Amino acid sequence: MQKPVVVFGGTGFLGRAVVAELAARGRSVRVAARSPETAAFPDLPGDSVERCAVDVRDEDGVAAAVAGAAAVVNAVSLYVESADLDFDAIHVGGAERVARLAAAADVGQLVHISGIGVDTQSPSRYVRARALGEDAVRAAFPSATALRPSVIFGPDDHFLSALDGITRLPVIPLFGDGATHLQPVHVEDVALAVEASLVQPEAAGCAFELGGAEILSYRDILLTILRHRRRRRLLLPVPFMVWRGIARVSARLGNPPITEDQVVLMSADNVVSDGAATLTDLGIAPRGLRAQLPACLL
């Protein structure tokens, strides 16, 4: 029997694309998440995907999930902290546990999904946790491949769907003057990068920054969606100071529409840095957001 690739977070937006890509290549896949039955894979043969209920905070559960695996992919995510769940538990502790127990189980490869701009000195708790998580993964599993995407888009994503909703407002508030640059990367290109990391020995121990074919400002992305939807709206610059105030006040009310971490993220460009290894180094020609938008926002 073929040893499976375990995809932690295999029910999430990126995780589902990774599972589909790996299974389409004939790999056997184990989806590991707290509620692994929530994702359907109607196009895949039923026997190509097994499910494993696990929380990355649970030592025994993670050990059981990685047992007998050929490789492990960690695509677990947490974007907003709550009273009983913080970034360190998932992005540092959880990431380290997956890496350490995968190494202990003699798993051949580990692909760790992180993000562009990881920085232990960032004012964002999220970005700091992602950076510390990468360090912990590297210490526990030195040959792990780190993939750092810019914002990921595709059909049924979080990003374009949210902006589509915002462009229904009569007036669209911008972060600052909307000049922050992003390099949106297609979800299937990130999934291809995971597969490439598993087959290319040169990827072991390396980090790749994954950006799409186009660098666009936040304002440009909104204008592209407005054109696609044939909507005309006023774009209103809103200083970052005001956003920080909104985030601070709404955090006290629970279920905030925006967090301080998200404001920090939107205040710095999120693009592939000079000299970084990229999708091209993995043999993948990235798609661009504008050409793909009609297929994503139906």
Residues lying near ligand NAP in the complex (CB under 6 A) are found at 8-9, 11-15, 33-35, 38, 54-57, 75-78, 90, 113, 115, 149, 151-152, 158-159
* CB of 193 closer than 8 Å to CB of 284: yes
Min dist CB 288 to ligand NAP, Å, is 16
Min dist CB 286 to ligand NAP, Å, is 14
User: Residue 251 contacts by C-beta under 8 Å, 6 or more apart in sequence?
Assistant: 259, 260
Q: Toward ligand NAP, which CB reaches closer, 242 or 267?
A: 267
Other C-beta atoms lying within 10 Å of the C-beta of residue 40: 10
Q: Toward ligand NAP, which CB reaches closer, 9 or 286?
A: 9
Q: Toward ligand NAP, which CB reaches closer, 129 or 252?
A: 129
User: Which one, of 259, 269, 193, 180, lies nearest residue 221 by Cα?
Assistant: 180
- Position with the least CB separation from ligand NAP: 12
Min dist CB 232 to ligand NAP, Å, is 28
Q: Toward ligand NAP, which CB reaches closer, 31 or 172?
A: 31
Min dist CB 249 to ligand NAP, Å, is 25
Torsion-angle region of residue 255: left (phi > 0), alpha (psi -120 to 50) or beta? left
Min dist CB 217 to ligand NAP, Å, is 17
* CB of 125 closer than 8 Å to CB of 251: no
Q: Toward ligand NAP, which CB reaches closer, 37 or 202?
A: 37
The Cβ-side half-sphere exposure at 146, using a 13 Å CA radius, reads 26
- To which H or E segment does residue 50 belong? strand 49-53
Token digits of residue 107: 């798993």
Min dist CB 7 to ligand NAP, Å, is 9
User: Residue 285 contacts by C-beta under 8 Å, 6 or more apart in sequence?
Assistant: 213, 279
Q: Toward ligand NAP, which CB reaches closer, 34 or 233?
A: 34
